[in-house]
Structure 1
Amino acid sequence: MATSKITYTGELRTSSVHLKSGIEIITDAPVDNQGKGEAFSPTDLLATSLGNCMLTIVGIAARTHGFSIDGTTAEITKVMGENPRRVTEIIVNLQFPGNSYSDKDKEIIERAAKTCPVAFSLHPDIKQEITFNYQ
């Protein structure tokens, strides 16, 4: 079964529907590439997917090992290159809230984040810079 259905709606915009849930994501070309920049661009989604995947896999690891990462955030910065135009670097800044994490918890968190499926699916030329901030 297909995962999603994408419709080009005009003006460099697409509508993607997740077929199982019906949830919709809109993309828009970025301002620096002839678009309006009014929604995530496809490359924004690529970079954001890395952070989403990391938090999901770390959440699974935390649940398995009996601690919580509720409230954790990931700030994503996408760096574009030219010739050809492409994502060259994704910077992920993970902020773990006021919980007290043991050294073992931190090891579990960092290993899980770095081994998420999206991290392994990205081309090796895309630099992944990950920062873990424990408050």
Structure 2
Amino acid sequence: MSTATARYSGQLRTEATHTASGNCIVTDAPVDNHGRGEAFSPTDLVSAALGSCMMTIMGIVAERSQINLAGTTFNVTKHMVADPRRIGQIDVHFQLPAALSPKERTILENAARTCPVALSLNPEIRQEVQFNYSL
């Protein structure tokens, strides 16, 4: 079974459907690349996938270790480069609970940095990851 199906709906927009759940994602080309920028671009999704994967793996480790990650958030920033046009860097900034012990912090940070998306991205894409403990 396929993971997803997609169709091109014109004007640089695609609609992808997750096969197992039926959930849909719309993408648009970004404004700086002839698009409308009204939805995630494909490279935005790659960046969001990195942060989401890191958070998911931290969540798995946290549940297994009974670490409370309630309220944890992240934001991502994508940096494009030219010639060829591609993602050059992805910044991921996490806000985590201040009450986490140094040992818990180390466990979670190692989990994030070894998520499947992080390990799958081309090594030429720089991954700048920051963990801020201020919640």
After TM superposition, the score normalised by the length of structure 1 is 0.97
In structure 1, C-alpha distance between the alignment counterparts of 2:52 and 2:103, rounded to whole Å: 23
- Equivalent AA in structure 1 for residue 99 of structure 2: S
Report what 1:51 is aligned to. Answer: 51
- Work out the number of aligned pairs and report it: 134
Query: For residue 17 of structure 1, what is the aligned residue in structure 2?
Result: 17
CA contact (8 A) 1:14 1:28 kept: yes
Write the distance in 2 (CA, Å) between the matches of 1:44 and 1:129.
16
Moved over 4 A (4+): none
Q: How does 1:1-135 map to 2 (within 5 A)?
A: 1-97=1-97, 100-135=99-134
Identical positions, percent: 52
C-alpha separation in 1, matches of 2:103 and 2:63: 14
Gap regions ≥5 residues in structure 2: none
| Code of the aligned partner of 2:31 | V
Code of the residue aligned with 1:61 in structure 2: it is V
What are the Cα deviations for residues 82-134 of structure 1, in whole angstroms up to 9, with x where unaligned? 0000000000000114x510111001110000000000000000000000000
Which deviations, in whole Å up to 9, do the C-alpha atoms of 1:21-50 show, x marking residues without a partner?
010000000000000000000000011100
Task: Determine helix, strand or coil for the equivalent of 1:6.
Answer: strand
Contact map agreement 1:29 1:36 (CA 8 A) in 2: yes
> In 2, are the aligned partners of 1:58 and 1:113 still within 8 Å (CA)?
yes
TM-score by length of 2: 0.97
Partner of 2:45: helix, strand, or coil? helix
